[in-house]
Amino acid sequence: MGLRPVGRTAGPAVEVVERTAFPVNRGALCGKGRTAPELLTPGARLSSPLVRDAATGELVPAGWDEALDRVAEGLRRAGAAYGRDAVGVFGGGGLTNEKAYTLGKFARVVLGTSQIDYNGRFCMSSAAAAHGRAFGLDRGLPFPLADVARTGCVILVGSNLAETMPPALRYLTELKENGGRLIVVDPRRTRTAEQADLHLAPRPGTDLALALGLLHLVVAQGRTDEEFIAERTSGWPEARAAVMAHWPEMVERITGIPVPQLRAAVRMFCDAPSSMVLTARGPEQQAKGTDTVGAWINLCLATGRAGRELSGYGCLTGQGNGQGGREHGQKADQLPGYRKLDDPAARRHVAQVWGVEPDSLPGPGRSAYELLEALGGDIRALLLMGSNPVVSAPRAAHVEGRIRSLDFLAVADVVLSETAQLADVVLPVAQWAEETGTTTNLEGRVLLRRRALDPPPGVRTDLEVLGGLAARLGHAKGFPSDPEEVFDELRRASAGGPADYSGISYGRIAAEDGVFWPCPAEPVSGGRGEPAGAAEAPPVPHPGTPRLFLDRFATPDGRARFVPVAHRPAAEETDAAYPVVLTTGRVLAQYQSGAQTRRVAELNAAEPGPYVQLHPQLADRLGVADGEPVAVVSRRGRAVAPARVSGAIRPDTVFMPFHWAGEGRANSLTNPALDPVSRMPEFKVCAVRLERVAPA
C-alpha cells in the first residue's frame, strides 16, 4: 500500500492507497490496514516523553534529554547494583528488521545482558522449532503464498484467515475455484470453516492426536510415498511405530471427530496431485505445540508432500514482522541471520561485525514468559519496545504484578498502552508511515517500507532512541539512526547464516517487489546454457529463494527428519471444578493487544469489547441468555464479558478474544505452561467454569 495527502481539515492528513500490482495481497486490505492512518493523528498517539513524577506518582511530560537520561540511569543503576543480567529487554514482532537487529545488539553490546526476548515467542515459536527439527531451517512458508491457490488440497489447522488475514483468504477462494479442496481444523465453525469442503472440529488441545490419527490411516491404507521416504528423509521407522499406536477409534475418542470424517480427510489429502498443510496459532500455542506441528510435518513427509512443487508444510505468521522479527537477534538464544548464540563460529562472525570480542557476548537467556516471571526478582529493570504484555501475556494479572514490582521500567511505544501506563519513563516513537525500514513477510520475502511522513515534533524513531541510550551508556558509535546504514550492517552480520540477507539491498527490494531469503551476496554463474566454446557470461546476483527444499533440505545430509511423537493431554485437563475448555483468539476488527486498534472509532464500532462465545446447550445449563454478562473462571483468574450464544462452537468449549484489558481480559485466565522445546505458553487450552453474573 501507499499513502497520499488528503484535503481534510480534521483527522489524518493522508489516506491509504492500494497497490494492486503488489504480488502478495494485490492491493487488498483489511479494515485495520485501511484505517491505520487514524493513528497518525495527534490525539490518538503519544507526542512527548513522559516521566513519573516523584511527588504525585503521575506520568508528566518531559524533554527528550531528561527522559533518555532517566532511562540510561535506571538501566545503569540496576546493572551496577545487581549485575548485568538484572537488566532485561523485551521486544516485539512488529519491529522492523533494522530495529529488531539493533535491539539485540544493544542488549548484548551496550547492556551486556543475556535477558532479552520478545513477544514473537508467543506467536510462531513452536512452528519455528518444528521447522528446525524437521527441515533444518525455519521460514514460515517455504513457497510463495500464491502457490496455495494452485495446489490440490489444503489442510488449514487452527487459523481463521477470514478474520485474522483477510487479504490472504483470496488464495483459498482461488484454490476452490481451481478445483482444489479445503479442509479446516478448528473447534469453532468460523467464517473460514464455512468455506471448507470438510470442517473438522476437534476438542481444543487434541490437534496432535488428530494429525497422528490421519497418518495412521495413511499407513494402514498403503498411501505412503515410499520412494520419497527412502530418497529424501530419515527416521521413518521410529515415527511410523509411534503413529501406529494412534488407531482411528482411539483418535475419535480423544478428539471428538468421527472416524468417517478422518477417512474423508485422508482421501481428500492423498487423492489430490499436490497438497499442503498450513498451521497457525491453534495447534502451536500449546504446551505440546512443537510436537503437534511436527506431527503435521510427518504427515506431509510420509505422503511425499514436502520439498516438491505446490506441496509442503507452512506456518502462517501473525505479527507485522513476525518472520523477520525472529531472525536477527531479539530472541533469547539467537544472533542475526538466525544463528545460534551458543555456536562459537556464529559468535566469532557477529562479534567481528560488531567490533567486540566473542567472549564479551553473553550466552542464551530466558524465554519470554520466563523473563516476565523473573521481573522484580532476578531482573530489576526492563526496557520494553513494541509490546503490551499486561494484556497479551498468559496469566496476565500475575505478569502485571511482576511488572509493577520492578525497580525501573522504560517503555517505547506509539500509544500509552496498559503496560506503558506502569512505566517510569515512556518514550513516544514513530509509526510505520514515519520511518523507513524493512520487514519480512510470511513467505520470507524481504520488503521495504519507505518513510512517507515526518514524525510530529516530540517523537523520535526507535533507532534514534537506541542510539541516544547507547551514547549515554558509553557507546557513542555503532548505533546509527539511518535505517539503510543499519540494514547494510545487518547484511554483513547475516552473511553465511541460515537467514542470509547479504545479497539484498534497499535498491533490489524496491526494484523487485521484495527479495526472498536466503539470498547470499555471492553471485551465481551467468554462463549456463551457453554453447561450447562461447565466452562465459558474467556472474549475476543471486536471485533469492522463493521456494525452499526442492533439491535438498537444510539438514547436514540434505534429508528431512521424521521426529517420532505421541499424543499427550493438555497441561490442564477439565474436571468437576473446571468442566469447560477455554480457547482464545482474534477477531476481524481488532489486533493483538488492541493497544492501537482500540483507538480507532470505526474498528471499535465493529467490535467494541470482549465476549464469551458459548454453545446454546451450555448457555441453557447455565441459564444465560445472549448478551447477558457471564464470568469465566480459571485457576489463575476471572474475566467477565457478555455471552454470545452460538451453535458455531463445541458444547464443551468457550471462546474469548484477547484484545481487551480490564475485567474482560481473556489472558487473566490462560495457562503459562510452556512447551519444553519452543517455550511457547499454552494460550489455546485451559480448564474453566462459567458463572452467571447479575446484570449491572
227-235 average pLDDT score: 98
Q: Is 458 exposed, middle or buried (0-12, 13-18, 19+ CB in 10 A)?
A: middle
Query: Which of 315, 342, 367 corresponds to the end of one domain?
Result: 315
367-381 average pLDDT score: 98
Assigned domain for 534 exists: no
The fraction of the chain above a pLDDT of 90, given in percent, is 86
CATH assignment at residue 388: 3.40.50.740
CATH assignment at residue 632: 2.40.40.20
Q: Looking at the structure, do residues 213 and 276 belong to the same domain, yes or no?
A: yes
Q: Looking at the structure, do residues 160 and 252 belong to the same domain, yes or no?
A: yes
Q: Looking at the structure, do residues 76 and 162 belong to the same domain, yes or no?
A: no
User: Which of 328-332, 512-516, 536-540, 627-631 is least confident?
Assistant: 536-540
269-276 average pLDDT score: 98
d(CA 49, CA 492) in angstroms, rounded, equals 34
- Between the ranges 10-14, 203-207, 509-513, where is the mean pLDDT highest? 203-207
- Give me the amino acid identity at 271: D
Q: Looking at the structure, do residues 275 and 215 belong to the same domain, yes or no?
A: yes
- Domain of 645, in residue numbers: 580-692
- The count of structural domains within the chain is 3
User: Which of 211-215, 320-324, 400-404, 453-457 is least confident?
Assistant: 320-324
User: What confidence category does residue 527 fall into, taking pLDDT thresholds of 50, 70 and 90?
Assistant: very low
Assigned domain for 138 exists: yes
CA atoms within 13 Å, Cβ hemisphere of 504: 33
CA angle, corner 620, sides to 618 and 621, nearest 5? 65
578-594 pLDDT per residue, tens: 999 999 999 989 988 98
259-270 average pLDDT score: 98
CATH assignment at residue 277: 3.40.228.10
Sign of CA dihedral 95, 97, 101, 106: negative
180-193 average pLDDT score: 97
309, 500, 534, 541, 582 from 546: Cα distances, Å: 11, 13, 30, 15, 38
User: Which of 5-14, 97-106, 462-471, 622-631 is least confident?
Assistant: 5-14
| pLDDT score at 138 | 94
Assigned domain for 21 exists: no
Q: Looking at the structure, do residues 391 and 290 belong to the same domain, yes or no?
A: no
Q: Looking at the structure, do residues 95 and 213 belong to the same domain, yes or no?
A: no
Query: In the chain, what is the greatest distance between 2 CA atoms, to the nearest angstrom?
Result: 89
pLDDT at 532 over 60: no
Q: Looking at the structure, do residues 334 and 465 belong to the same domain, yes or no?
A: yes
Assigned domain for 282 exists: yes
- Give me the amino acid identity at 511: A
Q: Looking at the structure, do residues 180 and 263 belong to the same domain, yes or no?
A: yes
User: Which of 11-20, 381-390, 442-451, 560-569 is least confident?
Assistant: 11-20
User: What confidence category does residue 397 fall into, taking pLDDT thresholds of 50, 70 and 90?
Assistant: very high
Assigned domain for 366 exists: yes
| pLDDT score at 22 | 83
d(CA 67, CA 395) in angstroms, rounded, equals 31
Q: Looking at the structure, do residues 343 and 428 belong to the same domain, yes or no?
A: yes
Q: Looking at the structure, do residues 149 and 245 belong to the same domain, yes or no?
A: yes
Assigned domain for 442 exists: no
Q: Looking at the structure, do residues 114 and 140 belong to the same domain, yes or no?
A: no
Tell me the sheet residues that pair with 640: 631
Assigned domain for 194 exists: yes
Q: Looking at the structure, do residues 239 and 162 belong to the same domain, yes or no?
A: yes
101-158 pLDDT per residue, tens: 999 999 999 999 999 999 999 988 999 999 999 999 999 999 999 999 999 999 999 9
Assigned domain for 535 exists: no
User: Which of 5-9, 21-25, 252-256 is least confident?
Assistant: 5-9
